[in-house]
A = this chain, B = another copy of it.
Amino acid sequence: MTTIRDIAKLANVSVATVSRIINHSGKVSMETKDRVKQIIKETNYHPNQVARTLYQKRSKMIGIIIPDLNNRFYTQIIDGIQEIIQKYGYTALISFSASSDNAKYQQYINNFENNNVDGIITSAFTINPNFQIHTPFVMYDSANIKDSVVRIASDNVKGGKESIDLLKNSAKNILIQHWPLTLPTIKERIESMITELNKLHINFVLEETSESDPSIAAQSTLEKYQQFDAIITVNDLYAARIIKESQRRNLKIPDDFQIVGYDNNILCEYTYPTITTIDQQPELIGKVAAQRLLQLINGDDSTQNSIVNVLPIKRNSTY
């Protein structure tokens, strides 16, 4: 392996001079610079980032923790993060962990910090677990909770309101499927729906569903479909399952009931009918998260949250 000392020897200069040339710092004569650059090119020398990181404590790496790679919502967030950080020469160090596994989370954070990452982006922790973290840090997929960390939240309040807006002119009895309200993001969304429904004097029922199985949820929801003319699901996967199940039962959507999903999953365009939904703009969430992180890395110390807008997408599962 070629080192900076090899280059220095070949060029008959000191390592300091070579270092200055690599980093465009300090004073070097044109003549020396040209000679050394030529040798660097000939030997195909690349400075070792590890040695650099050890001294400078800056690695040009960002640590990212993602709950689930097979969930498009998260991959789009990463895509957004990636787009920003690579522009500034950072590389992504990625680990995978469910939000609930706090021990693993702390372990990954330690690993990141042991590798001197310049910043860390993680999904939101469900419970406050008092993580030890000494590196610039932002959380995505969070509710708008005010505390000492930078949170990137989707506009869940608007998301809830938009869900109702999509139905308010045509639905009189709405079934709202939801996950446990202990999840702060869900809580924000559902509370916003309730506020809106009360304002509009529309009937509704809340149905808490098992977090894990959309197909079972679909079955049990459809048992009572006759009482409702619209269903709001936890996300598009649940909506797609209900559509699938209603095809089997020969129910017509939106005629027998309308349905509104959440997330604007790619599925929405391929089901029959296509699914009306709310787009959280995950790629934008990722971009905002990365931008905020870079600000922190560069010395900004504001801890204000960022709220990312949501977009209602009208398709054929509603009137």
Q: Chain A: residues with CB nearer than 8 A to chain B?
A: 44, 46-51, 53-54, 59, 61, 69-70, 72, 75-76, 78-79, 82, 86, 91-96, 110-111, 113-116, 132, 240-241, 243-244, 247, 266-267, 269-272
Contacts of A50 in B (CB 8 A): 50, 53-54, 59, 114-116
- Given the complex of chains A and B, what is the CA–CA distance between A72 and B265 in angstroms? 13
Tallying the copies of this chain within the complex gives 2
- Chain B nearest CB: distance from A42 CB in Å? 14
Closest to A72 in B: B70
- Given the complex of chains A and B, what is the CA–CA distance between A108 and B66 in angstroms? 22
Closest to A89 in B: B111
Contacts of A91 in B (CB 8 A): 93-95, 111, 115
A240–B270 CB distance below 8 A? yes
In the complex, besides A91-B115, A243-B270, A267-B267, 14 extra interface pairs with C-beta distance below 8 angstroms are A46-B110, A47-B114, A50-B50, A50-B53, A50-B115, A69-B78, A91-B94, A93-B93, A94-B94, A241-B270, A244-B269, A244-B270, A270-B270, A272-B272
Q: A114-B49, A270-B244 are in contact. Are A70 and B79 (CB under 8 A)?
A: yes
Q: A70-B75, A272-B272 are in contact. Are A46 and B92 (CB under 8 A)?
A: no
B49–A111 CB distance below 8 A? yes
Closest to A113 in B: B46
